[in-house]
Structure 1
Amino acid sequence: MNHRPRRSVLYMPGSKSRALDKAATLPADALILDLEDAVSPAEKSAARDLVCEAVKSRPFGPREVIVRINGAQTEWGEADLAAAAEARPDAILLPKVESPDDIAKARAVAGDIAIWAMMETPRGLLNADAIAAAPGLACMVMGTNDLAKELHASHILGRTPMIASLGLALLAARAHGLAIIDGVYNAFKDDEGLRVECEQGRDMGFDGKTLIHPAQLAVTNEVFGPSPDALEEARAQIAAFEQTEASGGGVAVVNGRIVENLHVENARRLLAEADAIATLEEAAR
């Protein structure tokens, strides 16, 4: 299993050279260098050149680097895909994916570069299982702003209008062994609201959250990272289970709760994630 940390996945505007320079110093697990929503039509070509040169020069250290291109149906999409494939980021993020064909067409150009898919339209969510099964897809990313617009839904605390869509994407991603990243929280100065939404996403099963501002990194990394208490319990569960197995005893118990194989598997996953986060943070210093 790949335990590459993706607690915080930060969008950076591809048209801003200073933003790209700053990205190399930020405590984000992954960076999305954006050629789509964050770039005006007049700046698309220049942003493409800027982003691809930055990717080629590899100034971002151990952070995972993803380029979000414009859609294939736009006048910039084909050139974006070709340039991103040549630059070879860790992944190429496709906007508004609605079918497995979207993945296949991108792979024909991108080759062995991982493809990520924005899940942000009703048709895309209804086709989530088929999309998740597409060869070459590594991660789904929720595009909750565009999705809310398409659904005519409101942005409210608790995201009740979004729950069905979030759940569909989660089911599809986990059924096919993919990573999945939650959508953005727009109020970048509202740490309390961000924490609530991060906790909701974590509890649902998302690997991390996309972010629109560096000020959101600390809260997001904290919430999506394993807590000391969780790690202590994980170690205790593994130790109790292994001791019970070795002694030929009956049932392992930790804190009054039975520990079974599924709990041990989850505990080992949690410890592996903690190790991967520590490795990433050490390498980024």
Structure 2
Amino acid sequence: MTTPAAIRPRRSVLYMPGSNARALEKARSLDVDALILDLEDAVAPDAKDLARRQVAEAVAAGGYGHREVVIRVNGAGTPWGEADLEAAIAAGPDAILLPKVSTPADLERAAHKVNAAKAPAGLTLWAMMETPLAMLNAREIAAAAANPETRLSCFIMGTNDLAKETRARLVPGRAPMRPWLMACVAAARAHGLDIIDGVYNDLSDAEGFAAECREGAEMGMDGKTLIHPKQVEACNAAFSPDAAEVAQARKIIAEFEKPENASKGALQVDGRMVERLHAEMGERVVRIADAIAARSSVAAG
């Protein structure tokens, strides 16, 4: 049996403005799974060059520990896109986030530059899914991951831009957007990608934020993008399996691992009929829980 690939929790993914040197430093101590050091929306045009330099220096300096470090560049059609991409490749983050990916060609152009620069294989590309065309092309964009040279590993939902471009309203429950969100989840899962939910804009509405985190988890999202450190704790809680879920997963796995159950496709656990697929689902729950626990123990140490 092959050993499963290492799993990386991506529950909380925090945007940090690249033009704010203090924020880049503070990010090294936050309890987040991933950081998006932003050169795009969070940075004013007259601060783009400063942000690029500060982010490149911060990533090259390291010190972010377990946190996955991602640089969001400006789009290829902007005055800053090409320089951003070159600087990001040279800095060596874990991933580069491409804005407004609408077709596979958008990925391929960036991937060509990353590969031409002979960037390490571990440097992947993440795609912002935030345009009407991206919603229509989600399947084809995700399918590009079948070619390792595209380096695609994750979708990020850009719900603010999507609302702007489609005129759909961002209302509690996000009913107008649910078809697009679920289409992107299906596309991502069909091609082995992670997918991270969009941001919640109202920092004063803790209850609404917690509810949207739960909704994202129920949809199958791996985590949520955040705009402020105060959102981290609730987000991590919503996207972490709870103790009862982990215990049940371990019990189901243990039952299917018994020699007498080796050939069974279904059996009863605590009076409930479960199939082997539930054991497979449980394995991911356990691996995520173990990865979170290992991370917490390192932080505590």
TM-score w.r.t. the length of structure 2 is 0.91
Which amino acid letter does the alignment assign opposite residue 131 of structure 2?
Answer: T
AA paired with 2:175? T
How far 1:168 moved relative to its partner? 1.3
Q: 1:256 to 1:88 in 2, by over 3 A?
A: same
Give the unaligned 5+ runs of structure 2. 116-120, 145-149
Question: In structure 2, what is the equivalent of residue 59 of structure 1?
Answer: 63
Q: Name the count of aligned residue pairs.
A: 285
Q: CA deviation at 1:2?
A: 4.2
Aligned residue for 1:10? 14
- 1:267 partnered with 2:282: yes
**8 Å Cα contact 2:153-2:194 kept in structure 1:** yes
Q: 1:100 maps to which residue?
A: 104
Mark the CA change 1:237 to 1:122 in structure 2 (over 3 Å): closer, same or farther: same
Q: Does 1:143 align with 2:180?
A: no
Counterpart residue type for residue 67 of structure 1: I
Contact 1:244 1:252 in 2 (8 A): no
Q: Which amino acid is 2:135 matched to?
A: L
Choose which of 25, 29, 35 in structure 2 pairs with 1:31. 35
The whole-number CA distance in structure 2 between the counterparts of 1:228 and 1:209 is: 21
1:46 corresponds to 2:50: yes
Shift of 1:194: 1.0
Contact 1:241 1:259 in 2 (8 A): no
1:254 aligns with 2:258: no
Contact 1:244–1:250 (Cα < 8 Å) also in 2: no
**Cα pair 1:189 1:215 within 8 Å, conserved:** no
Q: Quick one: which amino acid aligns to residue 136 of structure 2?
A: L
Matched position secondary structure for 2:29: coil
1:74 correspondence with 2:89: no
Are the structure 2 counterparts of residues 254 and 246 from structure 1 closer, same or farther at C-alpha, using a change threshold of 3 Å? closer
Q: Is the 8 A contact 1:121 1:147 kept in 2?
A: yes
Find the aligned partners of 2:297 and 2:92 in 1 and give their Cα distance.
24
Q: 1:247 to 1:175 in 2, by over 3 A?
A: closer
Contact 1:244 1:251 in 2 (8 A): no
Asked if the contact 2:255/2:261 (under 8 Å) is kept, the reply is: no
CA drift at 1:283: 3.0
Equivalent residue number for residue 238 of structure 1: 253
Q: Give, in whole Å, the separation in 2 of the partners of 1:213 and 1:127.
A: 31
Q: Please state how far the C-alpha of 1:247 moved relative to its aligned partner.
A: 7.8
For 2:158 and 2:83, how far apart are their aligned partners in 1?
23
Task: Select which of 216, 221, 232 maps to 1:206.
Answer: 221
CA contact (8 A) 2:266 2:276 kept: no
Q: Is the 8 A contact 2:138 2:187 kept in 1?
A: yes
SS of structure 2 residue aligned to 1:72: coil
Q: How much identity, in percent, do the aligned residues show?
A: 54
2:168 pairs with one of 153, 159, 162: 153
CA–CA distance in 2 between the matches of 1:280 and 1:34? 25
Residue aligning to 2:200? 185
**Structure 1 residue runs without a partner (length 5+):** none
CA offsets 1:50-91 (integer angstroms, 9 cap, x no match): 001000011211100000000000000000000000001000
The separation in 1 between residues aligned to 2:13 and 2:158, in whole angstroms, is 13
